[in-house]
Amino acid sequence: MRIALLTEGGYPYARGEGGAWCERLVRALPQHAYDVYALSRSPRTEAGGRVEVPPQVGQVRTERLWGEPPARPATGGRADRRARRAAFGWHFGDLAAALAGAPQRAGAGPTAARGRADRFAAGLYGLAETAAEFGGLPDLLRGEDALTALEAACRAPGVRPLLQDITVTELLAVAALLEHQLRPLSLPWYGPDALGSADVCHAVSGGPATLPGLLAKRFCGTPLIVTEYTVRVREALLAHRAAGLTPAVRALLGDYHRLLAGESYRQAALITPGSTHVRRWQERCGAPAERLRTVYPGMDAARFARAGEEAEAEAAAPAAHADPTVAWVGRAEPAKDLIALLHAFRTIRAEEPQARLRVFYAPATDERSAAYLGHCRTLAAQLFPDEAAHPHAVGENPVTFEEIGSPGAPEAADAYAAGDVVLLSSSAEGFPLSLVEAMFCGRPTVSTDVGAVREVIGGTGLIVPPRNPRALADATLQLLRGPERAARLGAAARERALALFTVSTCTRAFRDAYLSVVAHHPVPREPLHDASGAPRPFTTPAESLAPTTLTPCH
Amino acid sequence: MRPSHVDESLLLPGGGAPAGFSEEGDDAGPEDSEGGGFARDGLGIAPDAGEGGKGVGLPGQRRGGASGTPGTEGGASPEGRGEVSREKGVAAGEAESARTGGGREEEEGGRRLSPEGGDGASGAGAGSPRTDGGGEPEGVRGPSWADGHGASGAGAGSPRTRAGREPQGSAEPRSEGGRGGAGSTAAGGAAARTGLPRRRGPADPVLGVLHRHHDMLAGAVDMWEVAAGLEARGVTDADARRLRHRDVFGLAEELVARTPRNGRPAPAAGAREPLGFGVRDAALHLMPALALALAAALGLPGPAAVGLLVAAAWPALRRGPLRVTEGALRHLPALGTVALLALARCGPHPVGAWTLAALALTLLPAAWLARWFACSARAQLAPSHSLADFADAVRPRLLAVLAGYAAVLLGLLAALGTFRGSALGALLLVARLLAVHGAARPAAAALAAALAAQAVLLVLLPAVPAGTTEAAACGTPALALTVAALRLLPRAAAHRT
């Protein structure tokens, strides 16, 4: 089966997010042939270079969603240009009206919402068809026609006041950013040698990566699978805010991302959110519940196997240590709320004077996290003076900050193993990878109730409210003082993690997903037999002909 | 002080239920002495409470009686709550304005009412912020509730208008001035009696959220952005449920509805982009003229002079304000320009060497004018409210540029005693301006037309004086191109940065 992986700002770029996950998926299912269609999000993505792709990856095509558009050779005569402009104006007008939310007809309620999504889809596919017929659109998207259409849509009666007063600068900004986002429309990716040859399109993130998949479905009938581990719509909204865009620009672009996500969820044969949190956003954006199937991201359990086995051996004879150690492992960021951790540890230490806190941090990559780490070190030094066993000994601090890879913890597994209890003190969190790793290591954990923590831990660890150091300290003390309970929780956590969060669980889910999607949504492809007369696989699967659904999927 | 009354009223049988509460506040008020005190409290916080206790008691009771029926309805069905609060708002507003008749109060009442009427569904949560709060199990809730009513009773809608600005219990500051001393002693005694902690923070827990995330809410455009921002700041569905919303999205909806919409911030009158045309640029653009003057002085032949001109103008046109950065056809106008200049200098009726030097000298004012035009048009982008406005503002500047260039060119040529080359110069400037602003196609077409027309005229009508041929062949395309420029250059798309 030929699978087209659609990525944005990720695989095969080394610095992309989700690259490791894609790599594992591709290597774990070598029976399929893969093509990678990558959109790069920023110059930074490209500066990191690309990873080496395994042999089962055929072609790798890339396109930039930033910078100047590729120069398009002027083609066609005057009549062609005029027709192109007219078609563009018509379809872009539809798209702009959908973005501005201009009421199409008198009416409200669900029909109006539906009408908006339909209008967006009509505009989007219309633009794609214009691009396919007359060549790329970048010049038109940046031209005066696009600005006029946007202005007309914003000034239409019934549009919110925020957009009614849009200024010329904002119109230009919206047009430029939309041009970036709509670049996949102009790509030569939809022919029989590219996406047309794929049996399944698998968009490994939501948002812009799904756009080629939507067009492949439109032009070639290729079914689409959307996998989202972070909510792309949410990220886009936050990024717009952080970039300091003006409100009118944010309103239009936010709606673009949301409507695009909604359209991709509607068209997808299968949507696999990575956690309930993602699933909630997807449902909110219009994903049909029957096509959602949560697939947790698979993690490499082998790295933690030794630590996990040691924990099991330890659990056979649980005993409290003389110097109970609390560990924290992760990337130092303000959202991790290390301050609360330090305050909680202060309470713990008041009860258990021998307790130690070891903070293991991943090497800081950016200025911000380095600054935050420095801030936390200062706070720790202020809260906890150095201590020595007797007057002639050199003292040391009960709180240590160690980088993963330093002698104290050569690997992440050692960091987790160093703690009798592993804490997660985040005030905001997506899918807590460090918690899953602690579970693999069989450590008892105390975590704050943020993001997908509750879903991940599922009763095999303690949960406290975020930003509540006292509760965090109390729960930790319970585990430090009850080693039997801690050992039981640790063992249960390890079992849970091995059952749910391993790579094989994840890849097995996608192997089944590919087969069932292809079975139910075969690409209509002629001829049915290849050159030697043998039937071509996946052209007419039995399931696609059955009058009823044979499997529960979709 | 307020807590005292309310504690007791809430400790009465049934007092803790949501329905019970609104009955207590509004219905039972007139009969029950505690409730009456409460109602007085409620109104005592009203903006005009300076009148003192006695005067306040009466309207309070009257109000309680008036809004009795909606109060019970509100307790029974959650949908009715919006109605209730709105009614209460109306009642209170009327009572106040009737009592004082002052313009200020009327304005206050009106302000309170207007947002409620306009906001529709969200009004339910906002008008009487936590009307459903009575069911909360914790004891702390009781007093906080009472305050909630204190606040909402004070001017049923007031939390809405004031909430964003002073969320820490909008009621407190006002109560200072208006309330009599009697209440406070009673309150102290009651607090000591029941031993319940004094309430801290606002009655309405959402007010706290509003305050905490004020900076994020102030600039948010819709509930999606607010929901994303809340989640990024660690607000979870569990928190939202504590505030009696189904999830973060519901909370976001309420927050958006309750955040005061301050209009669009005035566009920053940001520092005007500097013209950036310094001595170096000027020197660069003078080079061709100097080179041609030297050539004229040395008596170099025509082709050599044109070659020298191209070589000397190249760096200026690559780096200066007249550089062409985009467009698939961007090299065509340059080719046309060279061809026209070559024809003018080396054709059958060549222009003088000094004429060519004068043309080259106009490169300097042309570059300066082009830079000025680009800068002032870009500065016009922000204050313009529509594309038509922008075009109207830019068109006179374009005319000024063209007129300025024409004046310089004609002045120079007049000093040389000839007008040959004036049409050519104008055509070259307009073509270059169009190419600089992304319209290379019409520029190239006009240059090609001028070239062809000149060639045809030279072949067909060799007897016509060279000046006339040139004026006709270059002037007509120049005029056509000027018309096109007046249409194309005032477009905003031509000035994107």
Please judge whether A254 and B329 are an interchain contact, meaning their C-beta atoms are less than 8 angstroms apart. Answer: no
In terms of CA atoms, which chain A residue is nearest residue B495? A172
Is residue B146 predicted with pLDDT exceeding 50? no
Is residue B84 predicted with pLDDT exceeding 70? no
Using an 8 Å CB-CB cutoff, list chain A residues near B439: none
Query: How much is the pLDDT for A548?
Result: 63
Residue A449 C-beta-side C-alpha neighbours within 13 Å: 14
User: Per the domain annotation, does A512 fall within a domain?
Assistant: no
Arithmetic mean of pLDDT, A31-43: 92
A99/B127: higher pLDDT = A99
Is residue A474 domain-shared with residue A367, that is, in the same domain?
yes
Using an 8 Å CB-CB cutoff, list chain B residues near A335: 232, 234
Backbone angles phi, psi at B169, to 5 degrees: 70, 85
Arithmetic mean of pLDDT, A344-370: 91
- Give B98's pLDDT tier (boundaries 50, 70, 90): very low
Separation CA B389–CA B218 (nearest Å)? 29
Residues in chain B whose Cβ is within 8 Å of chain A: 219, 221-222, 224-225, 227-229, 231-234, 236-238, 247, 249, 264, 267, 326-329, 381-387, 389-390, 441, 491-494, 496-497
Is residue A365 predicted with pLDDT exceeding 90? no
Query: How much is the pLDDT for B137?
Result: 39
Arithmetic mean of pLDDT, B163-174: 39
Is residue A418 predicted with pLDDT exceeding 60? yes
Query: How much is the pLDDT for B266?
Result: 64
What the block records as the tokens of B103 is 């313009």
Arithmetic mean of pLDDT, A40-55: 87
Query: How much is the pLDDT for B171?
Result: 38
> Which of A145, A123, A132 has its CA nearest to residue A184?
A132
Using an 8 Å CB-CB cutoff, list chain A residues near B497: 172
Among the three residues A501, A516, A537, which one is the final residue of a domain in this structure? A501
Q: Is A24 helix (H, G, I), strand (E, B) or coil?
A: helix
Is residue A91 domain-shared with residue A153, that is, in the same domain?
yes
Is residue A136 domain-shared with residue A16, that is, in the same domain?
no
Please judge whether B381 and A148 are an interchain contact, meaning their C-beta atoms are less than 8 angstroms apart. Answer: no
In terms of CA atoms, which chain A residue is nearest residue B233? A428
> Which of A506, A431, A496, A423 has its CA nearest to residue A458?
A496
- Give B435's pLDDT tier (boundaries 50, 70, 90): very high
Is residue A344 domain-shared with residue A432, that is, in the same domain?
yes
- Give B270's pLDDT tier (boundaries 50, 70, 90): low
In terms of CA atoms, which chain B residue is nearest residue A249? B221
Arithmetic mean of pLDDT, A476-495: 93
Question: Residues, chain A, total?
Answer: 554
Using an 8 Å CB-CB cutoff, list chain B residues near A155: 386
Is residue B175 predicted with pLDDT exceeding 80? no
Q: Give A 67-126 residues with CB within 8 A of chain B.
A: 68, 71-74
Query: How much is the pLDDT for B234?
Result: 80
**What burial letters (b/e) apply to A348-362, b meaning 16+ CB within 10 Å?**
bbeebeebbbbbbbb
Please judge whether B493 and A142 are an interchain contact, meaning their C-beta atoms are less than 8 angstroms apart. Answer: yes
Using an 8 Å CB-CB cutoff, list chain B residues near A427: 233-234
CATH number at residue A26: 3.40.50.2000
- Give B128's pLDDT tier (boundaries 50, 70, 90): very low
Please judge whether A254 and B221 are an interchain contact, meaning their C-beta atoms are less than 8 angstroms apart. Answer: yes
Using an 8 Å CB-CB cutoff, list chain A residues near B390: 168
Is residue A280 domain-shared with residue A344, that is, in the same domain?
no
A430/B3: higher pLDDT = A430
Is residue A329 domain-shared with residue A425, that is, in the same domain?
yes
Backbone angles phi, psi at A39, to 5 degrees: -105, 130
- Give B277's pLDDT tier (boundaries 50, 70, 90): confident
Low-confidence winner among A106-120, A121-135, B236-250 (lowest mean pLDDT): A106-120
Separation CA B43–CA B52 (nearest Å)? 11
User: Per the domain annotation, does A73 fall within a domain?
Assistant: no
pLDDT digits (tens, 9 = 90+) for A237-283: 999 999 999 999 999 999 999 999 999 999 999 999 999 889 999 99
User: Per the domain annotation, does A453 fall within a domain?
Assistant: yes
Low-confidence winner among A8-12, A164-168, A290-294, B213-217 (lowest mean pLDDT): A8-12
Is residue A13 domain-shared with residue A119, that is, in the same domain?
no
| Chosen from A169, A230, A425 to mutate, greatest number of chain B CBs within 10 A | A169
- Give A400's pLDDT tier (boundaries 50, 70, 90): very high
Nearest Cβ partner of A237 from B219, B225, B247?
Answer: B225
Please judge whether A171 and B492 are an interchain contact, meaning their C-beta atoms are less than 8 angstroms apart. Answer: yes
Is residue A192 domain-shared with residue A140, that is, in the same domain?
no
Question: Chain B contact for A167, CB < 8 A?
Answer: yes
Using an 8 Å CB-CB cutoff, list chain B residues near A451: 236
User: Per the domain annotation, does A529 fall within a domain?
Assistant: no
Arithmetic mean of pLDDT, B348-376: 91
In terms of CA atoms, which chain B residue is nearest residue A334? B233
Query: How much is the pLDDT for A359?
Result: 94
Is residue A124 predicted with pLDDT exceeding 90? yes
User: Per the domain annotation, does A338 fall within a domain?
Assistant: yes
- Give B125's pLDDT tier (boundaries 50, 70, 90): very low
Is residue A380 predicted with pLDDT exceeding 80? yes
Min Cα distance B469 → chain A (Å) is 30
Largest CA distance in chain A: 94
- 3-state secondary structure string across chain B: CHHHHHHHHHHCCCCCCHHHHHHHHHHHHHHCHHHHHHHHHHHHCCCCHHHCHHHHHHHHHHHHHHCHHHHHHHHHCCCHHHHHHHHHHHHHHHHHHHHHCCHHHHHHHHHHHHHHHHHCCHHHHHHCCCHHHHHCCCCCHHHHHHHHHHHHHHCCCHHHHHHCCCCCCCHHHHHHHHCCHHHHHHHHHHHHHHCCCCCCCCCCHHHHHHHHCHHHHHCCCCHHHHHHHHHHCCCCHHHHHHCCCCCHHHHHHHHHHHCCCCCCCCCCCCCCCCCCCCHHHHHHHHHHHHHHHHHHHHCCCHHHHHHHHHHHHHHHHHHCCCCCCCCCCCCHHHHHHHHHHHHHHHCCCCCCHHHHHHHHHCHHHHHHHHHHHHHHHHHHHCCCCCHHHHHHHHHHHHHHHHHHHHHHHHHHHHHHCCCCCHHHHHHHHHHHHHHHCCCHHHHHHHHHHHHHHHHHHHHHCCCCCHHHHHHHHHHHHHHHHHHHHHHHCCCHHHHCC
Is residue A351 domain-shared with residue A486, that is, in the same domain?
yes
User: Per the domain annotation, does A218 fall within a domain?
Assistant: yes
Nearest Cβ partner of B236 from A172, A284, A450?
Answer: A450
Arithmetic mean of pLDDT, A9-31: 85
Nearest Cβ partner of A168 from B237, B390, B441?
Answer: B390
Is residue A370 domain-shared with residue A399, that is, in the same domain?
yes
Q: How many CB pairs under 8 A join A and B?
A: 106
Using an 8 Å CB-CB cutoff, list chain A residues near B247: 280
- Give A442's pLDDT tier (boundaries 50, 70, 90): very high
- Running DSSP on this structure, what letter comes out for residue A292? B
What the block records as the tokens of B154 is 């004070």
Is residue B25 predicted with pLDDT exceeding 50? no
Please judge whether B221 and A162 are an interchain contact, meaning their C-beta atoms are less than 8 angstroms apart. Answer: yes
Distance between alpha carbon A114 and the CA centroid of its chain, in Å? 26
A458/A548: higher pLDDT = A458
Q: At what angle do helices B353-361 and B302-319 cross, to 10 degrees?
A: 0
Is residue A38 domain-shared with residue A132, that is, in the same domain?
no
pLDDT digits (tens, 9 = 90+) for B306-329: 899 999 999 888 888 888 877 667
Q: At what angle do helices A232-242 and B223-232 cross, to 10 degrees?
A: 90
Min Cα distance A110 → chain B (Å) is 17
Among the three residues A152, A177, A202, which one is the final residue of a domain in this structure? A177
- Running DSSP on this structure, what letter comes out for residue A298? P
Nearest Cβ partner of A234 from B231, B383, B494?
Answer: B231
User: Per the domain annotation, does A270 fall within a domain?
Assistant: yes
Using an 8 Å CB-CB cutoff, list chain A residues near B382: 167-169
A467/B42: higher pLDDT = A467
Arithmetic mean of pLDDT, B448-452: 94
Q: Count structural domains, chain A.
A: 3
User: Per the domain annotation, does A536 fall within a domain?
Assistant: no
Nearest Cβ partner of B221 from A73, A146, A251?
Answer: A251
Instruction: Kindly state the helix (H) or strand (E) to which residue A326 belongs, with its residue range.
Output: strand A325-330
Largest CA distance in chain B: 119
Query: How much is the pLDDT for A73?
Result: 63
Is residue A135 predicted with pLDDT exceeding 60? yes
Using an 8 Å CB-CB cutoff, list chain B residues near A146: 493
Query: How much is the pLDDT for A111?
Result: 59
Share of chain B above pLDDT 90, in %: 30
Owner of token pair 């903070």: A359
Min Cα distance A427 → chain B (Å) is 5
Q: What is the residue-averaged pLDDT of chain B?
A: 68
Min Cα distance B332 → chain A (Å) is 13
- Give A109's pLDDT tier (boundaries 50, 70, 90): low
Using an 8 Å CB-CB cutoff, list chain B residues near A151: 386-387
Nearest Cβ partner of A247 from B219, B229, B231?
Answer: B219
Using an 8 Å CB-CB cutoff, list chain B residues near A238: 228-229, 232
Separation CA A448–CA A468 (nearest Å)? 9
Share of chain A above pLDDT 90, in %: 58
Using an 8 Å CB-CB cutoff, list chain A residues near B494: 144
Separation CA A303–CA A306 (nearest Å)? 7
Arithmetic mean of pLDDT, B210-217: 91
Q: What is the residue-averaged pLDDT of chain A?
A: 89
Domain span at A200: 2-67+188-291
Q: Cis link prior to A391 (omega < 30° from 0)?
A: no
A344 within 8 A of A476, measured Cβ to Cβ: yes
Which amino acid, one-letter code, is at B383? Answer: P
Is residue A427 predicted with pLDDT exceeding 50? yes
Is residue A315 domain-shared with residue A437, that is, in the same domain?
yes
